[in-house]
Chain A
Amino acid sequence: MGVEYLTPEYEVIRNENRCIACGVCVRQCANEVHAFLEGTEKIISDDAKCVDCQRCVSLCPTHALKIVKNDCRLRENANWDNDTIREVYKQANSGGVLLSSMGNPKPLPVYWDKILINASQVTNPPIDPLREPMETRVFLGKRPQKVERGADGKLRCELLPMIELSMPIMFSAMSYGSISYNAHASLARAAQALGICYNTGEGGLHEDFYAYGDNTIVQVASGRFGVHENYLEAARAIEIKMGQGAKPGIGGHLPGSKIVGDVSRTRMIPEGSDAITPAPHHDIYPIEDLRQLVFSLKDATDYRKPVIVKVAAVHNIAAIASGIARSGADVIAIDGFRGGTGAAPTRIRDNVGIPIELALAAVDQRLRDEGIRNDVSLVVGGSVRSASDVVKAIALGADACYIATAALLALGCHLCRTCQSGKCNWGIATQRPDLVKRLNPDVGSERLVHLMDAWRHEIKELMGGMGINSVEALRGNRLMLRGVGLTEKELQILGIAHAGE
């Protein structure tokens, strides 16, 4: 191959005074950046292969390593910035579509950061979560329009199947295949310990995880991988995946190299064959087809499982959501344009879709305007990064949030955004046994539980400050939010007032 014109993005800096040449970095880096200089005790590095995943830095016993951004820059150009030029070089080299992973990293507005939360002063007392009960339990699903009574005048306390969560958070869809067995094990165990749910993603459910069925949402995506009767039966709820925030409008492609062993069996496709997820469900072209799929799944499970329909946040999301609400779905999950992915075409990830904050506000309001908000619950994700994002999402109108990137961070992900390579040094986005075993599910699930415990405390504190002692009273309570630095139009869509008003 000729000159690729690509200078290394990062520089691996080794403090030779500290390096004891133990070779940990050499063994740890799946990208093969570090190597012993032949016949010596000296370690050298090939900076060009480094993806800045920080694995070697974290494990180096003498803290001899650091990774810095290569300051060798092209001539400054506000229009043609460094990344844009590099992308042109890459495409000229390969002739291919650029691939990326995790969420959109571009400096587009993050509305969560422009929304502030209220607290009680004088006219209404704040509540101390350490002294008073503070409730975070939620139920997701359809609520009947009218209370019913039996002939004896007593309430007929019959509810449709719902998803009960101890707190308004679930782990969002990540397929077995795109992430490792140990990552799934960590999510499943944590979801059970926490009384919440995780989501299988589109890759089927490994037989070892049927035991966590009550805390599992199984996905039915356009590829239908791993979908069969027991799979549906095992779950707490079924999610039809129509789209994903990171790549609305397109399907997926898991290369044959990852379709090995259990992954192939779980997906029910031959080893080594590429798993191609079509862009549409080929049995769903208009909305009435969605209704049929919703009811097919309900029929198949005797109306015992709520059905979630997951869509990407796109321009016309309010109308789409209102269509879904009338399709028999129990829950609508909306994934914002900053949502993560194991692999997506860069152009799509960075340019398609809309922010979840605006999508959520528009959908919640539209469903209320049409009087059908009770027919569905709303779950939002992509990206929800902290307890305060959760509180803001709920006050805007969400019933619960989906988190995935934050969960992976808890498992050790360092957001190097090269999951598509399958060489995740943290044992998450990989199927290589030597890498997978780096993630210990005992530790992983414990860290997830810690993260959620911490968020729960924070949610309670924020609620207590507002004088609210149940998450139900926070949901859709937009008066508790104020915008800063937002235009009239943005405030109008979010349905909140500006700070100071």
Chain B
Amino acid sequence: MTPKEGQVRIPSGCAIAAVISREGNRMTGERIIEAMKPMHDRSNGLGGGFAAYGIYPEYRDFYALHFFFDSRDTRKTCEAYLKERFEIYKAERIPTRKLPQITDEPMIWRYFVAPLQSVLRDLQLDEKEFVVRTVMHINTSMKGAYIFSSGKNMGTFKAVGFPEDVGVYYRLDEYEGYAWTAHGRYPTNTPGWWGGAHPFTLLDYSVVHNGEISSYDANRRYIEMFGYKCTLQTDTEVITYILDYLIRRQELTLSEAASVIAAPFWSTIEGKTDLEDKRKHIYLRTLFPSLLITGPFSIVLGFDGGLMALNDRLKLRSMVVGEKDDKVFVASEEAAIRVMEPDAGNLYAPAGGEPVIIRVKEGAY
């Protein structure tokens, strides 16, 4: 039997795209699906997915857990487990459209939940940490159950297939969000199941990534010290955990986190004339050497209220940014931006290691 993703490490090439409205204007998923079409050849039909922010405003106070189940029994066991820990506000199948291109589908459900305060008190954990631990537990210990999205007012949708088909399959034209990211995957082996597709998410952080990082095992073995379990052996997974660790647990700002994972070269740091900036970079590199990511990557990190696009420090993967009115677009290729917005302007390719951070204006999401 060919091993499933998680049992082997599968390198992939990829396409990524993203769009966000700085004004918080919501848009359907149609545009981002279109963006993936001209980049068709960057995927090979073995994985596609989307992350959408602002799509569940009516449930904004609940964690939206998206699940893959392999059977009804698994779902029942899992539900029982959840009930002991969370108030389940709503449980339902995620609506899909049958498509000949998308086969072997698991059972796909979503639960809108809130952690039980009594449980949090007993465990002396804050809400987010508790959700993280629940996700880790279910994904590593409950065979046949897999949580692939766990943030509030956001959701991930992914499958084995070409991204444009995956978007139609999940009826993304029926959702409205202020930010969307998309991913098409070119894995070098068959991932075997849907969990391996991107985006990879934890809480409201989602990552789409194009590249193959050479620092993978150094990063993985470091981050696993802090309770994260890299079950999929993918770059995206480890990058997501690193960002969660740096931003949520170490409380770094986005640009500080970017300075850790795509740290400037020592020679660049030494040349800095702004002494405070220099000290900061020396500090961050010295403190987190094992979270430096080397090898090619371009990523878009989605989070509550914004996006961050980042390239590896040598810029070994293409990534372009453009804008029009309230919208900012990011993609592996300009063609994808042109499809989303033919008149996009200010097109540029951010330098390696230079984060592009776009936030929705306060109160608009």
Q: Once the chains are docked, how many angstroms separate the CA of A154 from the CA of B274?
A: 15
A135 touches B265 (CB 8 A): yes
A472 touches B290 (CB 8 A): yes
CB-CB under 8 A from A130, the residues of chain B are: none
The smallest beta-carbon distance between A422 and chain B, in angstroms, is 43
The smallest beta-carbon distance between A71 and chain B, in angstroms, is 50
Q: Once the chains are docked, how many angstroms separate the CA of A132 from the CA of B314?
A: 8
B13 touches A473 (CB 8 A): no
The smallest beta-carbon distance between B299 and chain A, in angstroms, is 15
Chain A, residue nearest B12 (CB): A123
Q: Once the chains are docked, how many angstroms separate the CA of A120 from the CA of B295?
A: 10
* A142-182 CB contacts (< 8 Å) to partner B: 143-144, 146-147, 149, 154-155, 157-159, 162
Instruction: Out of A127, A373, A479, name the residue touching B225 (CB < 8 Å).
Output: A373
* B245-262 CB contacts (< 8 Å) to partner A: 250-252, 256
Question: Which of A30-38, A56-64, A202-210, A462-470 is found at the contact surface with chain B?
Answer: A462-470
* B296-315 CB contacts (< 8 Å) to partner A: 296, 313-314
The smallest beta-carbon distance between A398 and chain B, in angstroms, is 12
Residue B175 CB within 8 A of the other chain: no
B286 touches A139 (CB 8 A): yes
CB-CB under 8 A from A149, the residues of chain B are: 251
Q: Once the chains are docked, how many angstroms separate the CA of A146 from the CA of B245?
A: 11
CB-CB under 8 A from A480, the residues of chain B are: 214, 217
A473 touches B283 (CB 8 A): no
Chain A, residue nearest B278 (CB): A157
B266 touches A473 (CB 8 A): no
CB-CB under 8 A from A143, the residues of chain B are: 286-287
Residue A79 CB within 8 A of the other chain: no
B218 touches A476 (CB 8 A): yes
* A446-501 CB contacts (< 8 Å) to partner B: 466-470, 472-480
Residue B316 CB within 8 A of the other chain: yes
A155 touches B280 (CB 8 A): yes
Residue B279 CB within 8 A of the other chain: yes
Residue A137 CB within 8 A of the other chain: yes
A123 touches B212 (CB 8 A): yes
Residue A125 CB within 8 A of the other chain: yes
> Which of B226, B280, B285, B286: most chain A Cβ within 10 A?
B286
CB-CB under 8 A from A133, the residues of chain B are: 265, 267
Q: Once the chains are docked, how many angstroms separate the CA of A358 from the CA of B9?
A: 25
Q: Mask for B236-250, Cβ within 8 A of A = 1, else 0?
A: 000000000000001
Instruction: Out of B12, B287, B290, name the residue touching A476 (CB < 8 Å).
Output: B290
Chain B, residue nearest A136 (CB): B266
* B89-141 CB contacts (< 8 Å) to partner A: none
B216 touches A125 (CB 8 A): no
Residue A371 CB within 8 A of the other chain: yes
Chain B, residue nearest A146 (CB): B250
A467 touches B295 (CB 8 A): yes
The smallest beta-carbon distance between A169 and chain B, in angstroms, is 17
The smallest beta-carbon distance between A306 and chain B, in angstroms, is 13
CB-CB under 8 A from B218, the residues of chain A are: 472-477
* B193-235 CB contacts (< 8 Å) to partner A: 211-219, 221-222, 224-226
Residue B282 CB within 8 A of the other chain: yes
A162 touches B283 (CB 8 A): no
Instruction: Out of B214, B283, B292, B314, name the residue touching A159 (CB < 8 Å).
Output: B283
Residue B144 CB within 8 A of the other chain: no
CB-CB under 8 A from A139, the residues of chain B are: 286, 289
* A101-132 CB contacts (< 8 Å) to partner B: 120, 123-125, 127, 132
Instruction: Out of A138, A157, A162, A368, name the residue touching B280 (CB < 8 Å).
Output: A157
CB-CB under 8 A from B222, the residues of chain A are: 368, 373, 476
Q: Once the chains are docked, how many angstroms separate the CA of A138 from the CA of B266?
A: 11
Q: With A125-B296, A476-B221 in contact, do A147 and B250 touch (Cβ < 8 Å)?
A: yes
Q: Once the chains are docked, how many angstroms separate the CA of A474 from the CA of B292?
A: 10
The smallest beta-carbon distance between B354 and chain A, in angstroms, is 16
Given A135-B265, A158-B283, 7 more pairs with CB closer than 8 A:
A133-B267, A137-B266, A155-B283, A373-B222, A374-B225, A472-B218, A477-B217
Name 5 interchain pairs, CB-CB below 8 A, sorted by A.
Answer: A123-B212, A124-B214, A157-B280, A473-B218, A479-B216
Binding site for B on A (CB under 8 A): 120, 123-125, 127, 132-133, 135, 137-139, 143-144, 146-147, 149, 154-155, 157-159, 162, 368, 371, 373-374, 397, 466-470, 472-480
Q: Identify the 10 closest CB pairs spanning chains A and B, nearest first.
A: A473-B215, A479-B217, A157-B283, A467-B214, A472-B289, A477-B218, A123-B11, A473-B294, A124-B212, A477-B217
